[in-house]
Structure 1
Amino acid sequence: MKELWGVLARQRDYRLVLSAGLVSLTGDWILKTGLAFQVYVLTGSTLASGGLLLSSFVPMVVLGSLAGVFVDRWDRRRTMIVTNLLHAVLLLPLLAVRDESAIWIVYAVVLMQSCLQQFFRPAEQSLIPVLVEPRQLVTANALNSQTSDVARLIGAGIGGLLAGLGGLPLLAVVDAATFLLAAGLIVRVRHRVVRTLTQSASGAIQRLKAEWTEGLRLCVAGPAMRLLFVFCLVTGVGEGVMSTLFAPFVSAELGGDGTAYGLIVSSQAVGGIVGGLVAAAIGSRLPAATMWGVGAFLFGLIDLVLFCYPLVTDSLIPAFVCMILVGLPGAFTVAGMMTVLQRLSEDSSRGRIFGAISAAEGLAVLVGIASAGVLGELAGIIPVLVFQGLGYVIGGAVILTRRRMLSATAPQELVGHPSA
């Protein structure tokens, strides 16, 4: 635990960014959970509910890589402040939603917020490496990834409660307040990076195109980056399969109802919190590539057990156990891979690389979602879900065999100094 408290106690700026992320993510889960409930109440249509997912997902694919270009141009701290403030303002139209005729406002708000997230996420992930010491980076990434699980546990329950008490207006006000609070925390971050834009290209459009193309090229520049990129694509398809077929898996293969499904999904957050603490505590003792490979391999093995055990029994207990256990290797995977990616990229191009990989992952998830519906009918739910587990097992094994290459080609090329 020494490493964990060392980061939290000594790195003031990182502590502020971490706190801001937890606050805004909690607001995201409050809104996400409440919106899903309210849209169905207003429309009575599952198709309308599915439109929320589409509205939130399209910007990730269309805008992700382009947003990374601007993140590299702009001051990351200022980008995070402005996007949080815009998030708060964009929630105000939800106050006008009273019935099904205004449901288009909900879709527009979700779409615009997802667009803003394409700027916020790469800015946050690109800023973290310059706020902590190089040896603390794995620990910082583990803590940062853990905030989503904590936010899910807190925000999902509050979102359902607020939706029942005050509907969309109350959800909008509370979520806007979390974004304002997050912006206030980031304002207090002292770290600054002065950027000088390259003016060699003729015209803004030409510069934008050149920088965007460069970001895409950097994602596959060298064997280490190509390995990371392919891993993200394969596991992205698997996550799309998982998100599509897990509910049918619980219902058809385990005989569980909606309540059981919700509890099983929530149990992963518990495991993620514990796993994040463990990863943060021992992060500095393990090479990032080793943590990534071991985490992915074990994550896939536990998933395979989860998907195949119904062939022996339909008890729900193993599902809860597996979902809790998978949190530890899941935290290792995220922290290790993020650290490798941050070390493989220079500060001046980190936003473009994050944005391009995010867009590619989004496209891979959409491919998985589209494929799962068809293949689930043709091959069955369990065989298709097994693909997801195998993707992580094989990916983890390959990473472990290449961990020396990943470590050797991952120098720290950071700008600025950590804040004490």
Structure 2
Amino acid sequence: MGALRQLLLQHRDYRLVLSAGLISLTGDWILRTGLAYQVFLITGSTLASGGMLLASFLPQVLLGSLAGALVDRWDRLRTMIAANVLLAAGLLPLLIVDGPDRIWIVYAVMLWEGTVQIFFEPAEKALIPLLVDPRQLITANALNAQNADVARLIGGAAGGATAAWGGIGAVTLLNVSSFALSAFLLTRVAPRDEKAAGPPTDPPATAAGVARRTATGPVRRLRSFCSAALGPTWQHRPLRVVLGFVVLTGVGQGIMSTLFAPFVVDVLHGSGAAYGTVVSAQAVGGIAGGLATAVIGSRFRAVRLWVFGALLTGAIDLVIFCYPLVLRDAGVGPAIVCVVVVGLPASLMFTGLMTVIQDATDNAIRGRVFGALGAAEAASMLTGIAIGATCADAVGIIALLTAQGVGLIAGGCLAMVFTRRSAEPATAPADRPATATAPPAVPDPVERADRPA
């Protein structure tokens, strides 16, 4: 507990960012849960509720990489404040939704919210290494990862209860308040020099060069901007390993999100209440695992947390999905125990992976790396959702969910490639001292994208 207490007592700005992130994420869960309930109540269509969630998900797939590149060009703290303000303002049209004929407003709002949110997340992840000491980064990431589980537990319950009590209006006002409070907390964080990448410096102008740039400038700048957004993840070998891991596990997450409820109901023969208990137990396990990781994680190298966490998470998931084949009448009890236990290795995996990415990238390109990886994860999850929805009847629920566990183990084995790579001498990024997991910094493509050879 010493490392955890020291982190929270010494770094006021980190406490503010951590609290603001928790409040913002809780607002997201209030909105998603409350609107899903209200849209189904108004339309009576599960397709309408699913379309609402899809509208919030698409921006991450389509624009995540470009958003990350823009975050690197802007002040990240101000980006997070502006994102919260825009998120709050964008919710106000929901106050006039009063029937099925205005349900289109919900889709437009969710599309807006999803678009703005993709700027907040990479800015937050890129800012955290600047707020704490390098030796405290694993502990900081573990606490930050806990936000998702706490927000799901609080926001999910608050969103459902608020929607049932006061409808869309109450959900909207509560969510606006959460984003406003998050923005206020971030304004209390001391500004700092983030050394983020600025716009490219143009070479000296010549008559021929001006004419050439006038004719092809927009196309060249769009191409160089896309290269700046995607290039670091493809060019840097450790990040290619991370990308492969994210894609493998993202497909599995999509399959699990689609088939977990049918698994509890059809395979374990549980009720709706049993499913709710399993989901709540999963959140509790995540919170407990995050606290444990924050306490003990700093004693180990980040890459080992990543590898060990992935392998053990995959193994426990296989137990969850396969025990009904052996214990046919066991019910949901073993599943509840396992989803609580898996919280620790899952937290170790996420915290280790996050720290590896932060150590492997220079501050100037950190936002675009997180943006590109987020887009890859979202696309992989959509693929997994499609596989789960279309193949469950033909292949079987247990078989597909088993593939999810196998994918995690395969991802852990892939991460071992990084373990071997990280043992070689490496140059630390400019804003961080050398660590055992820091490979060479990646040159910033933005700085040379528009310069002639």
TM-score, scaled relative to structure 2: 0.89
| 1:188 is aligned to 2:185 | no
- Alignment of structure 1 residues 12-411 onto 2, 5 Å: 12-193=12-193, 195=196, 196-200=198-202, 203=217, 206-312=220-326, 313-314=328-329, 315-400=331-416, 402-406=418-422, 408=424
C-alpha spacing 1:206/1:69, structure 2 compared with 1 (3 Å): farther
SS of 2:235's partner is coil
Shift of 1:268: 0.7
Task: Tell me the SS of whatever aligns to 2:234.
Answer: coil
Separation of aligned partners in 2, 1:407 and 1:19:
36
Q: Quote the offset at 1:197 in angstroms.
A: 2.2
Answer whether contact 2:79 2:120 (CA < 8 A) is retained: yes
Cα pair distance change 1:21/1:150, threshold 3 Å: same
TM-score by length of 1: 0.95
Give the letter for the 1:9 counterpart: L
Whole-Å Cα distance in 1 between the matches of residues 314 and 144 of structure 2? 22
Which stretch of the first structure deviates more once superposed, 253-262 or 325-334? 253-262
- Cα 1:402/1:199, change in 2 over 3 Å: closer
1:257 and 1:36 map into 2 onto residues whose CA distance is 20
Q: 1:30 to 1:409 in 2, by over 3 A?
A: farther
* Partner amino acid, structure 2, of 1:368: G
- Change in 2 beyond 3 A, CA 1:158/1:339: same
Q: Per-residue CA shift, 1:387-407, capped at 9, x if unaligned?
A: 110111122133246414236
Q: Could you tell me which amino acid in structure 2 is paired with residue 159 of structure 1?
A: G
Cα distance between partner residues in 2 of 1:351 and 1:30:
27
Moved more, 67-76 or 395-404: 395-404
Distance 1:351 1:27 in 2: 23
Secondary structure of the corresponding residue to residue 220 of structure 1: helix
Cα distance in 1 for partners of 2:423, 2:284 equals 31
CA distance in 2, matches of 1:304, 1:144: 27
Question: Is contact 1:212–1:352 with CA below 8 Å preserved after alignment?
Answer: no
Aligned residue for 2:438? none
Deviation string 1:10-66 (CA, Å, 9 cap, x unpaired) is 111111100001111111111111111111100000110111121011111001011
Query: How many percent identity over aligned positions?
Result: 51
Q: Is the 8 A contact 2:32 2:53 kept in 1?
A: no
In structure 1, the residue matched to 2:445 is: none
Amino acid at match of 2:376: A
CA distance in 1, matches of 2:240, 2:411: 13
1:219-278 Cα offsets, whole Å, 9 max, x none, are 122331111110000000111111111111111101112221122112111001110011
Offset of 1:98 from its aligned partner? 0.8
- In 1, Cα distance between equivalents of 2:307 and 2:219: 40
Letter paired with 1:321: V
Change over 3 Å in CA distance of 1:3–1:326 after alignment to 2: same
| Cα deviation 1:186-218 (Å, max 9, x = unaligned) | 111113226532233854663453132133121
**One-letter code of the match for 2:45?**
S
Structure showing greater radius of gyration is 2
Aligned residues: 417
If asked which structure has higher relative contact order (CA below 8 Å, sep 6+), I would say 1
Q: What corresponds to 2:449 in structure 1?
A: none
Residue 413 in structure 1 maps to residue 429 in structure 2: yes
Check whether the contact 1:340–1:406 (CA below 8 A) recurs between aligned residues: no
| CA RMSD of superposed structures (Å) | 1.7
- When structure 1 is superposed on structure 2, of 405-414 and 371-380 the one drifting more is 405-414
Q: Give the aligned residue type for 1:238.
A: G
User: In structure 1, what is the Cα distance between the partners aligned to 2:306 and 2:397?
Assistant: 28
Question: Residue 293 of structure 1 contacts residue 399 of structure 1 at CA under 8 Å; is this kept in 2?
Answer: yes
Question: Contact 2:13–2:131 at 8 Å: present in 1 too?
Answer: yes
Rounded Cα–Cα distance in structure 2 between residues aligned with 1:410 and 1:174: 48
Asked whether the equivalents of residues 267 and 320 of structure 1 are also in contact (C-alpha less than 8 Å), the reply is yes
- The DSSP-based 3-state class of the residue aligned with 2:25 is helix
In the aligned structure 1, how far is the partner of 2:30 from the partner of 2:423?
A: 39
Query: How many Å separate the matches in 2 of 1:411 and 1:146?
Result: 31
Distance 1:8 1:396, change over 3 A: same
Structure 2 gaps, min length 5: 204-212, 434-453
State the distance in 2 between where 1:411 and 1:379 align.
Answer: 48
Which string of whole-angstrom CA distances, capped at 9 and with x for unpartnered residues, describes residues 267-299 of structure 1?
111001110011111121100000011111110
Contact 1:236 1:362 in 2 (8 A): yes
1:120-172 residue CA offsets vs partner (Å, 9 max, x unmatched): 11000000011111111111100001011111111111111111111001110
Rounded to whole Å, the distance in 1 between the matches of 2:432 and 2:334 is: 48
Q: Output the CA distance in 2 between the equivalents of 1:343 and 1:45.
A: 46
**Structure 1 counterpart of 2:314, one-letter code:** G
State the secondary structure of the residue aligned to 1:22: helix
CA distance in 2, matches of 1:23, 1:407: 39
Long gaps (5+) in structure 1 = none
Give how far 1:362 is off. Answer: 0.9
Q: 3-state DSSP class of the match of 1:39?
A: helix
